[in-house]
Amino acid sequence: MLAEDLALLRDGLIRLLTAFDFEVVESVDNGPALLRALVTHRPDVAVVDVRLPPTFTDEGLLAAIEARGQVPGLPVLVLSQDVQPVYARELLSSPGGGVGYLLKDRVGDVGQFVDSVRRVAAGGSAMDPEVVAELLTRRSRDQPLQALTAREREVLGLMAEGRSNAAIAGRLFITEKAVGKHTNNIFAKLSLPPSADDNRRVLAVLAYLNS
């Protein structure tokens, strides 16, 4: 499912998703229609613009959150024009996995965008690096985050983006064993329960960063 009020962008996203073997069951251009469509179709994943008619504020986000309340775990990838950490906080506050928050600029990177859609559809998470960076900055004065080493902060940022230990190891040119050690240290310092489930650990970290 797709929700985007700009006709040209909506048509482009439909063509892009179709080219990568997604079936777009419906596309809408306003919040009320989005809520009805989400609850009716219960899609494998919804790509939703934050700002939709009639208010052009957070109509798309609120419709997605309400739909997830009626259909727990409904996978939603939110697109936004700029960094608004409060949107990430509200989305993550709803129960279940399958959530994502990307800046619209990321759509230009086709590979990254499609990978994010697939990751959210599979019940994982996909957070924009700029959103993660701002969340980290907002918590930088807190003692637990100050206790992290520079490398642990790098790992935390990549973890919050939704990357697996293997992907983090590849990005930082270190071993998976080293990533596992850093991850355990992060959980211990942030007083978070360790988890082998990538999505749950990302949500736990992001929930902490948003608290």
Tell whether 74 and 178 lie within a shared domain: no
C-alpha–C-alpha distance, residues 171 and 55, integer Å:
40
User: What was the pLDDT predicted at 127?
Assistant: 83
Q: How large is the angle between the packed helices 198-210 and 150-160, nearest 10 degrees?
A: 110
pLDDT, position 208: 64
Segment 129-142 mean pLDDT: 69
C-alpha of 32 from chain center: 22
Q: 1: closest CA among 53, 37, 51?
A: 37
pTM of the prediction? 0.78
The tokens 């949107």 sit on which residue?
87
Residues 62 and 117 in one domain: yes
Q: What is the CATH number of the domain that holds 83?
A: 3.40.50.2300
Among 93, 126, 159, where does a domain finish?
126
Residues 120 and 103 in one domain: yes
What are the pLDDT digits (tens) for 47-77? 999 999 999 988 998 899 899 989 988 999 9
Regarding whether 180 and 116 lie in a shared domain, the answer is no
- pLDDT for 178 beyond 80: yes
Same domain, yes or no, for 174 and 114? no
Q: Average of pLDDT values for 192-206?
A: 70
What is the pLDDT of the chain when averaged over all its residues?
86
Q: Is pLDDT at 181 greater than 80 in this prediction? A: yes
- 70 shares its domain with 151: no
Verify that 110 and 36 share a domain, yes or no.
yes
Residue after which a domain boundary falls, among 126, 161, 193:
126
Determine the longest span between alpha carbons in the chain, in angstroms.
50
> What average pLDDT does this structure show over 174-188?
92
For the chain, the domain total comes to 2
- C-alpha Rg value of the chain to the nearest Å: 17
Predicted pLDDT at 63: 92
Asked if 14 and 43 sit in the same domain, the reply is yes
Angle at the Cα of 97 (from 12 to 133), degrees rounded to 5? 70
Same domain for 101 and 175: no
Supply the range of the domain harboring residue 71.
2-126
136 vs 180 pLDDT, higher one:
180
Considering the domain architecture, whether residues 176 and 83 belong to the same structural domain is answered as no
Q: What is the mean pLDDT of residues 191-195?
A: 75
Q: Note the pLDDT of residue 145.
A: 75
Task: Work out the average pLDDT over 151-168.
Answer: 86
Q: What is the pLDDT of residues 2-41, one digit of tens each?
A: 999 999 999 999 999 999 999 999 999 999 999 999 999 9
pLDDT over threshold 70, residue 142: no
How many angstroms from the chain centroid is the CA of residue 85? 11
Mean pLDDT of 184-196: 81
163 and 185 both lie in a single domain: yes
Residues 154 and 110 in one domain: no
Q: Are 118 and 91 in contact (CB under 8 A)?
A: no
Answer whether residue 99 shows pLDDT above 70: yes
Choosing from 84, 107, 126, the residue where a domain stops is 126
What is the arithmetic mean of pLDDT over 177-203?
A: 81
